[in-house]
Amino acid sequence: MDFFEAQDRAKRRTNRLVVLFVFAVLGTIAASYLAACLILSFTPDNELRFSNEAPPTFVWDPQLFGILAAAVVTVVGLASLYKWSQMRHGGSAVAELVGGRRVDLRTTDLRERRLLNVVEEMAIASGVPVPAVYVLENEPGLNAFAAGLTTSDAVVAVTRGTLDKLTRDELQGVIAHEFSHILNGDMRLNVKLTAIVFGILVIGLIGRGILQSLGRGRIRGGGGKNKGGGLALILAAGLAMMIIGYIGYFFGRLIQAAVSRQREFLADASAVQFTRNPTGISGALKKIGGYALGSTMLDRRAAEIGHFFFAQGFRSNFGGLWATHPPLPERIRAVEPRWDGQLFEPPELVDVEKESFSSGAGFAPGAVTREVVPEDPPAPPPRIPFQAAAVVAGIGALTEEHFRNAQALLGALPAAARDATRDAATAVPLVYALLSDSAKPAALDRQFALIAQHSSDADASSARELHHSLATLDPAARLPLLQIALPALRQLDAAALDRFATTLDELVHADGSVTPFEFALQKMLLHQLALAQKPNAAVHFHSFAPLAGDLAIILSVLARADGSGDAGRVTRAFAHGVAQLPLIAGQLALQPAATCTLEQLDSALDRLTASSLPIKQRALTAAAHVVGADGTVTVEEGELYRAIAATLDCPAPQLAG
């Protein structure tokens, strides 16, 4: 299943969830009306009467039904909106809601560094922005979750037990499972589920609050002969609301559990496919079954997001009905068919501080901890093989090849550059250094002067130092290095971010022209930082026709991106892309070089970002056929394509080769 199919399936599940929610609300309205009729049948002349003189009578009262329907819809709607508002700021809001602590990117804790390293590997391999990483310090059980509304605001959180008790391979399997949820569009659905279930529950909470207030004597029924009747009416209303609310909550939890369970097997299988190591995730599941605490969460606030977790976080009160995850034996056998049924037997604790990183407990195999400078600069990289169909199929995919490429790339990064990604104060000059032009000393001095003018002298000095460290950096590693720096850059405050964006723009346009790499870096970086702050993106275009002009510009820019100036080659490449858009092929014409600059590409991409997912898929397919018309691309062409995909929120992994 590819990225676009997974996203479409998530959208269909969301639509079904909305239908189920509507039925739940209608059921709540019907139950409320019946309860009101029952209560009112005992209150002739507004006075309670408990006798058997006449049985309760139910008469259709449109006015009463309308009042109750409006009240239920208002209460449920406002409650759901309230819960949504708590989580609409993205994955960080969810992690902090359950007590998560953000891992310092400069941490010296070896377990935390190992976790950061695994998350970075997964992000580089799958092409998504590196998520922020959180640890639930007070949770000794083995569990984890991914949360967010888009790939740009996603976070990965693990419990302290997961950090302490899992080997690197097992941790890798768990994180790969969570990345599957990120890529399959499950995170946004999880947030909607949480808001919906809370909206249904709130009626029961109101009823319980009324009963508790009566018990504490905070509600009085007035004086005289009506006092007893008033209290009885309040008691009956509170009891009815609590029963109705919790009945709705019961079915809401059933919906939550059913939606969650069906995704876990797919995420497990994706993790195995990604790492090619079934013992990693099966080992983690066996440890959950072997340790006494298992995957249990102690913080009751985490119950609201039980369907987010890697494993069952809470005991199901109704057998398997409320279970958000399949039974452990079923999940283990799905990835390890010959499992003998034996779970993990806890040994004495492993001291990871004394384990060798090369043994699999620490960083990726081949990771370097010091910078190695070769005697001679590396030769210019050859053109990269590029098959359009395979590249599009690889968008958002979890593959072993991408994973191994990511490990090798991270292991070869200069230590100074890798360290600079760990803090916002050094990540900013690192980005400036990536834009520095070492081929032109005069231009280089001018760029550092611009940094000092628009940012600070300290940033200019740091950028100059990092520029020397990047001298041996493989050009193909520039965008992945940027991905690793994203978590630190997200921590910039509004003023610092505005200053950073201004300086970035000055550097890109310092020499009066913009290269494909400069465009790719600026566009990808600023788009993903903006999306992390405001993860809700509206869809305005559902057909190709309004976007024909924008698509023509995108395909024209890509056709001319190789810089060969060969008119025949440009025309053929453009035609390859147009063939993938048959519905509007007649409206697409190759644009003159003067009218299809990278500035026009920027505007066209902004409009295409607001299109539906099927349009984005066809646009990326057409773009891939233009870029790879001859079966190969340069590094800069590949970076430009990845930047376009990232701007459309479709994660394209690092190109092989």
Q: How big is the CA angle at 598 (ends 596 and 602), to the nearest 5 degrees?
A: 105
How far separated are the first and last CA of the chain, in Å rounded? 24
Smallest CA-to-CA distance from 408 within 441, 351, 364 is with 364
Tokens of 53: 């003189």
Coil, helix or strand for 136? strand
Buried b (16+ CB within 10 A) or exposed e, 365-376: eebeeeeeeeee
Residues near 465 by Cβ (< 8 Å), separated by ≥ 6? 416
User: What is the C-alpha separation between 75 and 34, in angstroms, rounded?
Assistant: 18
Amino acid at 472: T
Residues 130 and 120 sit within 8 Å (Cβ to Cβ): yes
Coil, helix or strand for 497? helix
Amino acid at 427: A
Three state DSSP letters for 581-599: CHHHHHHCCCCCHHHCCHH
Listed in sequence order, the DSSP H helices in 339-475 are: 388-393, 400-411, 415-420, 424-434, 441-454, 457-469
Q: How big is the CA angle at 72 (ends 66 and 73), to the nearest 5 degrees?
A: 90
Question: Of the listed 120, 121, 178, 639, which one is catalytic?
Answer: 178
DSSP code, position 53: S
DSSP 86-132: HHTT-HHHHHHHTT-EEPPTT---HHHHHHHHHHHHHHHHHTPPPPE
Tokens of 32: 């409320």
Residues 556 and 628 sit within 8 Å (Cβ to Cβ): no
DSSP code, position 381: P
User: What is the C-alpha separation between 456 and 426, in angstroms, rounded?
Assistant: 12
Q: Tokens 């806890």 — which residue?
A: 346
Does residue 47 carry a catalytic annotation?
no
Strand pairing class (632-633; 384-385): antiparallel
User: What is the C-alpha separation between 229 and 456, in angstroms, rounded?
Assistant: 74
User: What is the C-alpha separation between 425 and 290, in angstroms, rounded?
Assistant: 44
φ/ψ (deg, to 5) at 323: -70, 125
Residues 228 and 12 sit within 8 Å (Cβ to Cβ): no
The distance from CA 515 to its chain's CA centroid, rounded to whole angstroms, is: 30
Coil, helix or strand for 384? strand
Q: Tokens 């009324």 — which residue?
A: 210
DSSP code, position 631: S
Handedness of CA 556, 562, 564, 568 (dihedral sign): negative
Residues 221 and 231 sit within 8 Å (Cβ to Cβ): yes
Coil, helix or strand for 399? coil
Tokens of 76: 């449920």
Coil, helix or strand for 385? strand
Tokens of 618: 């066809």
Catalytic residues: 178
